[in-house]
Structure 1
């Protein structure tokens, strides 16, 4: 679809979609670190699924995010959360997309996780680029340390270390902070089609955060230029419960 024929992107909303969702998957995301750098849309566009384009903020640029957190009790089809295999650290590299219907979403370039079985299931069932990594999340007072070193499939040894000091709750997030966090779906390419998988969760309880250390090469391993300089945005959130609905298979 030509750019001129595309509908305008849906509004950015900090609140989840109002339509009821029959959950396909349930999980919780805890102790999230959101680290974002501005990115050139020309670098991002070739990495997105067909039928999607970079989501541009304020007519200027798009963003690449490095998001580290604890996945907690993943489950499916209404079953109770799995206590061991369903709980693990995760770090993902993500981009921001808009499809031909104007639906905003994220696109994952990689999702490092420390449990091999969930990695294999997510790759096979959803086509998501999960990778198996040695990982940890440690807290000391108001400081969190997230570490990751890739095992399989690769590039083996790709790593990240994020050290974050949490700050005060944000009463009124900026438009950019909503743009980077209020994402109610993902786009992915699977079995020859671009898929749209919606999600819903409570409004993000965002906090200010100070980035004390960031040593990583996951962004470059995902096919993007390595970030230069300090991040544009650093945020923390204690967590939310999440539901994922059925996929729209798209084109």
Structure 2
């Protein structure tokens, strides 16, 4: 991707909303990885999306607020919970750049069960918390189900000044308008719309994480290449559609380390 190819706002409208939600107090950590490490984890019909030839794996902690069906309103209790995800970036034959989740840890069991069964997303039920102390945010996670293992994560991030104009890499890592999902051996794109991210500079104060390794990237280590914070955005998801050429064709895409 080049700076000229970056889309700052959603390139497509969502005419029929199937889900609404708000994402609050997000911290984004990203590490560079070789695209060949990413490729086996992507749905059929997609390829690693890269910036200057480099792929990225992200660890993102936040608070999900007001998750609900159709156009809302969101559910008052079940729809609000902590979440932490490990994600990759993909592009399909239509040029749609999206997120691929390797894991999504959430603190409410019922949404986890629904997302796993209906949307084929790798949600995990976890004991979690998000604590704010001024401009410092502490995200903790201890996975309960399913296994194998019960990886933990703790990250502490200090939010800094607002970013008037994010760099091209910062846009690449955050300006995504959908998900790519492997649904029973077929690639599926699930679009979303939300306002342009209000991003802030951020400082990683502490990180003790096992989620990235459990998601299949044990070689990722050291300080992240990018640390960002956002107070959040409202989001709407539209109806899913197939990825062109998005069938497995006998390729072994068995998830590893998840």
> TM over 0.5: same fold?
yes
Answer whether contact 2:14 2:193 (CA < 8 A) is retained: no
- Structure 2: give runs of 5+ residues left out of the alignment: 247-258
Query: Which of 159, 163, 184 lines up with 1:166 in the alignment?
Result: 159
Structure 1 range deviating more: 117-126 or 11-20: 11-20
User: Which residue does the alignment assign to 1:25?
Assistant: 19
Q: 1:45 aligns with which of 28, 39, 48?
A: 39
Indicate which of 11, 21, 33 corresponds to 2:5: 11
Match of 1:114 among 107, 112, 127: 107
What is the rounded CA distance, in whole Å, between the counterparts of 2:78 and 2:13 in structure 1? 31
Distance of 2:239 and 2:197 partners within structure 1: 22
Q: How is 1:52-201 mapped onto 2 (pairs within 5 angstroms)?
A: 52-58=46-52, 60-201=53-194
Q: Deviations over 1:99-120 (max 9, x none)?
A: 1222110100000000000000
Q: Is the 8 A contact 2:14 2:192 kept in 1?
A: no
Q: How many residues align?
A: 242
CA–CA distance in 2 between the matches of 1:20 and 1:187? 16
Deviations 1:84-139 (A, max 9, x none): 10000000000000112221101000000000000000001100000000000000
Q: CA deviation at 1:20?
A: 4.6
In structure 1, stretches of 5+ residues that fail to align are 1-7
1:58-84 Cα distance to aligned partner (Å, 9 max, x none): 2x2110000000000101122311011
Match of 2:196 in 1: 203
Give distance in 2, aligned partners of 1:236 and 1:176.
15
Q: Measure how far apart 1:12 and its partner are.
A: 1.9
The list of structure 1 runs, each at least 4 consecutive aligned residues, that deviate by more than 6 angstroms after superposition, is none
Q: Under a length normalisation based on structure 1, what TM-score does the superposition of the two structures give? A: 0.93
Alpha-carbon separation, structure 2, partners of 1:11 and 1:247: 24
The question of whether the paired residues in 2 share the 8 Å contact of 1:217 and 1:226 is answered with no
Alignment match of 2:226 (pick from 219, 224, 233): 233
Residues 44-53 or 222-231, more deviating? 222-231
Instruction: Give the whole-Å Cα distance in 2 for the aligned partners of 1:224 and 1:20.
Output: 33
SS of aligned partner of 2:150: coil
Over the aligned positions, Cα root-mean-square deviation in angstroms equals 1.4
Deviation sequence 1:186-227 (CA, Å, 0-9, x none): 101012311100100000000000000111011111112342
The 3-state SS of whatever aligns with 1:249 is strand
Distance in 2, matches of 1:216 and 1:20, equals: 35
> Residue in 2 aligned with 1:3?
none
Contact 1:30–1:72 (8 Å) recurs in 2: yes
